[in-house]
């Protein structure tokens, strides 16, 4: 008897693969987001459910969610021989396994040094800090404070951990940059002043 087994790309477990250790000096939880395991209730509400199985991981916030299609890769197939009790007894010699294809790489414009500085400066405050390059529009630093440790959602998240983070009055899961609503404040004055000067409706030293 033959049995077909899917092989997966477990992107949350890549840290266990031998190789060069990269030290992360920044958190970037609201930038990177996190992945979540798909259960049956979630799978039933997904539009492209045929691409996933129960137990697969899916990007749930941040870059992980936005670029899910590029990051998830393609599953492979392993063909195994099993006995009458469903126990594996060997591989199928006349059928070649299909190797999984890793997902693509995603590159950001975040300046790690600047990101680290802003995360440290905002660590005791509740608010946002966003730095962009006005010439290109590239985002150089992106901080929503307070934030959370992405490692909480990698692997098995305990009920206690989940309750603590969702009941936190400071709302660390809230991305205040993309989901918060704030009055523009004095930053809007530059926009209105430039518009008036370009329209030649006022003089440079005129007060209004």
What does the alpha-carbon distance between residue 2 and residue 185 come to, in Å, rounded to a whole number?
67
> DSSP class of residue 11?
G
* Per-residue confidence (pLDDT) for residue 5, from 0 to 100: 46
171 and 136 co-located in one domain: yes
Residue 3 tokens read as 């049995």
Q: Is residue 186 annotated as a catalytic residue, yes or no?
A: yes
Number of folded domains that form the chain = 2
In a domain, 102, yes or no: no
* Per-residue confidence (pLDDT) for residue 1, from 0 to 100: 43
Residues contacting residue 174 through CB under 8 Å, at least 6 positions apart: 144, 180
* Per-residue confidence (pLDDT) for residue 2, from 0 to 100: 43
pLDDT of 25-53, one tens digit each? 788 999 999 888 887 877 777 766 677 88
What does the alpha-carbon distance between residue 151 and residue 156 come to, in Å, rounded to a whole number?
10
User: Which runs of consecutive H residues, i.e. helices, occur in 67-175?
Assistant: 68-71, 112-122, 159-166
**Could you tell me if 135 and 105 are in contact, meaning their C-beta atoms sit under 8 angstroms apart?**
no
Residue 169 tokens read as 């009055």
Instruction: Tell me the backbone φ, ψ of residue 97, rounded to 5 degrees.
Output: -65, 155
In a domain, 96, yes or no: no
What does the alpha-carbon distance between residue 84 and residue 49 come to, in Å, rounded to a whole number?
31
In a domain, 99, yes or no: no
Length, in residues, of the chain: 208
In a domain, 203, yes or no: no
125 and 183 co-located in one domain: yes
Catalytic residue among 16, 41, 167, 186: 186
Q: Which residues of the chain register pLDDT less than 70? A: 1-24, 47-49, 154-155, 203-204, 208
Last residue of a domain, one of 91, 125, 148: 91
Buried b (16+ CB within 10 A) or exposed e, 121-145: ebeeeeebbebeeeeeeebbbbbbb
């Amino acid at each position: 008897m033959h049995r077909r087994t899917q092989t997966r790309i477990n992107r949350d477990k890549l840290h266990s693969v031998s190789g060069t250790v990269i030290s992360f000096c920044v958190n970037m939880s609201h930038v990177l987001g996190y992945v979540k395991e798909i259960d049956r209730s979630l799978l039933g509400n997904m539009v492209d459910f045929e691409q996933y199985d129960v137990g697969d991981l899916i990007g749930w916030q941040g870059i992980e969610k936005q670029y899910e299609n590029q990051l998830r890769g393609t599953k492979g197939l392993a063909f195994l021989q099993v006995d009458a009790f469903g126990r594996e007894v060997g591989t199928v010699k006349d059928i070649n396994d299909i190797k999984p294809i890793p997902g693509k790489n995603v590159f950001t414009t975040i300046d790690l040094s600047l990101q680290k500085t802003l995360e440290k400066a905002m660590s005791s405050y509740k608010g946002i800090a966003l730095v962009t390059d006005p010439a290109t529009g590239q985002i150089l630093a992106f901080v929503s404070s307070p934030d959370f440790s992405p490692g909480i959602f990698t692997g098995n998240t305990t009920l206690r951990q989940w309750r603590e983070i969702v009941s936190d009055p400071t709302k660390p899961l809230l991305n205040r940059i993309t989901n918060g609503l704030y009055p523009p404040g004095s930053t809007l004055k530059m926009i209105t002043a430039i518009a008036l000067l370009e329209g030649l409706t006022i003089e440079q030293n005129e007060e209004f």
